[in-house]
Structure 1
Amino acid sequence: MEQLQSFFAEQVPWVQSLIGLALLAAAALAVNYVLKYVILRAAKPWLDQKTQTVDKAAAWLATVAPLLIISRGIVAVPNLPEDLATIITNVAQALIVLSVAMGIVKSLTYANELYERRPESRNRPIKGFVQVVKIIVLCGAAIIMISALIEQSPLLLLSGLGAITAVLLLVFKDTILSLVASVQLTTNDMLRVGDWIEMPSMHADGDVIDISLHTVKVQNFDKTITYIPTHRLVSDSYRNWRGMAEAGGRRIKRSLSIDQTSIRFLSDDEVLELKKFKMLKDHLAGKREEIAEWNARELTGEDSPVNARRLTNVGVLRAYIIAYLKWHARLSTDEFTMLVRQLPPGPQGLPIEIYCFSNTTIWGEYEAIQADLFDHLIAILPEFGLRVFQEPSGMDVREAPAGSGAA
């Protein structure tokens, strides 16, 4: 020790300061190396292997030790100007505050990751609240860091915040709105990760893959990503398909346009021919008995068929569609509405609307069920003497007989 003191005494002051700073830096780096590359690596097998967040949090907290060595040991450096020593101490203390704050932030991130592994996290995400706590921690750290740098009490800075409240409200306007929206979305269970939503105003149509404080990330079906400000999901309207997914059935609502010129009464021979349809036997038998009783009661002594009730091909078609829907194995008949109805006739024919639900919500299967259903119905129309309405195409005009146009 005496030799070391004599060595320092023989050197000029600035050399002594450089040597002292070098030794202090070496000590800080040695402690940093031991903590991060020896102790933390040795402890790694006992840490959570599913994430790197724990390692990052520990690394930030480990940074506090070398910074403490610098802030406490700087006073032992000989011949160092007092102002420079004060600056280094203040900067080291500010960095200590930053390291602790970042360690807390990473720990909050890890806490959210642990929560997201639980089943209830899909219904009650806490990511938005965690981000609010992070903002508070970082804002508090910023105030303490500034106080450490200027050597003033944090209360002095806080007392001046009242004068700039309006500015802060303007700066953090979106954060405040998003916080309120996050609380509403979570409390009212309006949105979950995995929900399929449609929001035309934001060009969003796909699955929610992330809900954060400021934005909700939606992966559209074309694999593009739409970022929606969280507060827009409260102020604007959107459609959430979760109810459909939970119900287990998806609605089929589509019309079959019938050419109105093909609608007519059925003759007795045609009714007998339609009895070959297994699904129409009971309907035709009951309907013919009902019509016969009505005609016998109401048309006594009349011979003109114009006043009699008769079966129509479109009416029998509706009965056939209802029976076919009930028979179809991929349609849900118990829990959901099922009906076949006529819509008002128009220039595009007479719409026969089919309203029912598939027994699956899987998109591909749903589309296949719907296509198979209408494939069959369109193909079966000629059996009832009906045609699908279709506007004339270029081929129809080309095949029209010469001279058939208007003069």
Structure 2
Amino acid sequence: MDRIKHWLYDYLIELGTTEAAAKYLNMLLLLVALFILIFIVDFIARKLLIGVFSQFASKSKTNFDDLLVANKAPRNIAHIVPLLIALEFVPIVLADFGYYENIAEKGLKVFGVILMLWIARSLLNTVKDYLKTLKQFKDKPIASYIQVFMIFAWVVGIFSCLAIITETNFIKFITGLGAASAVIILVFKDTILGFVASIQVSINDMVRIGDWITFEKYGADGDVTEITLATVKVQNFDKTITTIPTYALISDSFKNWRGMTTSDGRRIKRALYIKQDGVKYLSEKDVEELKDIQLISSYLESRQSDINAFNTERNINKELLINGRNLTNLGVFRKYIDSYLKQHSAINKDMMIMARQLAPTTQGIPLEIYAFSSDKRWENYEYIMSDIFDHLIAALPYFGLEVFELPSNSVFKANHA
């Protein structure tokens, strides 16, 4: 080794060069030679390692090794060989320059720590990408756990670098930071909250990637595309992106539509507001006319027979319709809605079907339709619901009913003409 250290130095001294100049020239030439050696070794190591991994990946059935190559894991691992060569030969090259040798060794060790972090990141990103290809992990917040580990690794790495630079034992260095723990907790408050939230979200299965959520506080209404340690990304239906703090998922209220998407139907819950002055009892003539409506003809036959039997048995005076039992146009229309929904091809017959009357309001009597469409896709769901209400609104006049609506300007103008 001594011959390598001073092989040019001795030659320069023989040529009459000063001792100081000989030392510097000897060091510079050895440094250039070391750089060239490191470059060649790094190039060869990268080519060999990447080539081996690529060949293995092409023959392997799993895509894990392909993801290793894509995340540059072989490239980062290949840097270990030139780093070890540098650590071995730097003390030789800088043998006569102790101060610079110390700085160079510290720099190489710091680079070694960073290189280990790069390798760890490549491997963890590979694991994350691979797990996302598996069905059972596709909707899990894997990125959150990867980020937690990488944050921890970077903190340890930074402390290791500082311990190397200050030439302090790592354990003693960490112990000395105890006094600064409060500051560290304050700095990483959001990270800690995000980590806790990620665990709770995952354990309680509150949100998965691909879920449709509505979060009014943050203006989010769309599909979850990414769950990380700090944020949840939601692509809204207008294609904008809303970013929500992960901690907000456990501290605030939001709506997850997964229950609907995994069920057998999507709920239709909408009301028609009927004008109250149109509600009336039905005379015998009215009932006979409504029997022409096929969906309720058998119902009217049966119902009218029962009502007539009841009224006759009790000798009810039917000259006044209010006496005894009667059919109303609103009640018959409600039965018509029920029959119409039960025969509609897009309604799930195994789930609840109901037409109910709600408490009267200043806008009329709400007649609410409560049912479930078999098709849960948004576009088709809206089409089905529109189709149902188009029909019902058009059917109202046949029952002598009207939908309530506020008067328009033309009505006011006509009344004041």
Q: Which residue, 399, 408, 412 being the options, matches 1:384?
A: 399
Q: Which residue, 237, 241, 249 being the options, matches 2:253?
A: 237
Amino acid at match of 1:7: Y
Q: Deviations over 1:123-148 (max 9, x none)?
A: 54332222211122222222222222
Q: Decide whether the 8 Å contact of 1:299 with 1:307 is kept in 2.
A: no
How far apart are the structure 2 equivalents of 1:189 and 1:250? 21
Alignment correspondent of 2:73: 57
Alignment of 1:238-253 (within 5 A): 238-253=254-269
Q: Which residue, 288, 294, 300 being the options, matches 2:304?
A: 288
How far apart are the structure 2 equivalents of 1:292 and 1:113? 74
- In structure 2, relative to structure 1, the CA distance for the partners of 1:305 and 1:105 (3 Å cut) is closer
Deviates more, 1:35-44 or 1:128-137: 35-44
Q: Decide whether the 8 Å contact of 2:355 with 2:367 is kept in 1.
A: yes
How far apart are the structure 2 equivalents of 1:79 and 1:143? 29
Alignment correspondent of 2:43: 33
**Aligned partner of residue 352 in structure 1, secondary structure:** strand
* TM-score, normalised with respect to structure 1: 0.93
How far apart are the structure 2 equivalents of 1:302 and 1:262? 21
Alignment of 1:257-296 (within 5 A): 257-296=273-312
Alignment correspondent of 2:32: 22
**Aligned partner of residue 331 in structure 1, secondary structure:** coil
1:368 is aligned to 2:360 = no
How far apart are the structure 2 equivalents of 1:43 and 1:50? 8
How far apart are the structure 2 equivalents of 1:369 and 1:55? 47
- What's the CA shift for 1:79? 6.0
How far apart are the structure 2 equivalents of 1:223 and 1:176? 31
Q: Decide whether the 8 Å contact of 1:341 with 1:354 is kept in 2.
A: yes
- What's the CA shift for 1:7? 3.5
How far apart are the structure 1 equivalents of 2:25 and 2:188? 50
How far apart are the structure 2 equivalents of 1:141 and 1:377? 69
Alignment correspondent of 2:364: 349
How far apart are the structure 1 equivalents of 2:95 and 2:156? 35
Q: Decide whether the 8 Å contact of 1:299 with 1:308 is kept in 2.
A: no
- What's the CA shift for 1:14? 1.3
Deviates more, 1:317-326 or 1:343-352: 343-352
Alignment correspondent of 1:122: 138
Q: Decide whether the 8 Å contact of 1:378 with 1:388 is kept in 2.
A: yes
- In structure 2, relative to structure 1, the CA distance for the partners of 1:384 and 1:401 (3 Å cut) is farther
Alignment correspondent of 1:96: 112
Alignment of 1:389-404 (within 5 A): 389-400=404-415, 402=417
Q: Which residue, 150, 153, 157 being the options, matches 1:141?
A: 157
Alignment correspondent of 2:60: none
- What's the CA shift for 1:52? 6.5
Q: Deviations over 1:122-175 (max 9, x none)?
A: 354332222211122222222222222222210121111211111111111111
Alignment correspondent of 2:198: 182
- How many pairs are equivalent? 401
**Aligned partner of residue 307 in structure 1, secondary structure:** coil
How far apart are the structure 1 equivalents of 2:382 and 2:318? 52
* TM-score, normalised with respect to structure 2: 0.90
- In structure 2, relative to structure 1, the CA distance for the partners of 1:155 and 1:301 (3 Å cut) is closer
- What's the CA shift for 1:301? 6.9
Q: Deviations over 1:248-306 (max 9, x none)?
A: 31111111111222222222222111111111122101211221122123335785444
**Aligned partner of residue 332 in structure 1, secondary structure:** coil
How far apart are the structure 1 equivalents of 2:66 and 2:193? 34
How far apart are the structure 1 equivalents of 2:321 and 2:221? 57
Deviates more, 1:65-74 or 1:368-377: 65-74
For the aligned residue pairs, the C-alpha RMSD in angstroms reads: 2.2
Q: Decide whether the 8 Å contact of 1:53 with 1:109 is kept in 2.
A: no
How far apart are the structure 2 equivalents of 1:300 and 1:330? 44
- What's the CA shift for 1:16? 1.3
Q: Decide whether the 8 Å contact of 2:283 with 2:321 is kept in 1.
A: no
- In structure 2, relative to structure 1, the CA distance for the partners of 1:152 and 1:296 (3 Å cut) is same
- What's the CA shift for 1:399? 3.6
Amino acid at match of 1:128: S
Deviates more, 1:294-303 or 1:12-21: 294-303
Sequence identity of aligned pairs in percent? 36
Q: Decide whether the 8 Å contact of 2:261 with 2:376 is kept in 1.
A: yes
How far apart are the structure 2 equivalents of 1:389 and 1:128? 52
- What's the CA shift for 1:330? 0.2
Q: Deviations over 1:298-346 (max 9, x none)?
A: 3357854442322211111011000001010101121x22111111222
Q: Decide whether the 8 Å contact of 1:262 with 1:386 is kept in 2.
A: yes
- What's the CA shift for 1:46? 2.7
**Structure 2: stretches of 5+ with no match in the other structure:** 58-62
**Aligned partner of residue 300 in structure 2, secondary structure:** helix
**Structure 1: stretches of 5+ with no match in the other structure:** 403-407
**Aligned partner of residue 71 in structure 1, secondary structure:** helix
The ranges of structure 1 where at least 4 consecutive aligned residues each deviate by more than 6 angstroms after the TM superposition are none
Alignment correspondent of 1:7: 11
Q: Which residue, 305, 329, 341 being the options, matches 1:325?
A: 341
- In structure 2, relative to structure 1, the CA distance for the partners of 1:79 and 1:133 (3 Å cut) is closer
Deviates more, 1:48-57 or 1:265-274: 48-57
Alignment correspondent of 1:405: none
Q: Deviations over 1:100-125 (max 9, x none)?
A: 12101210111111111111113543
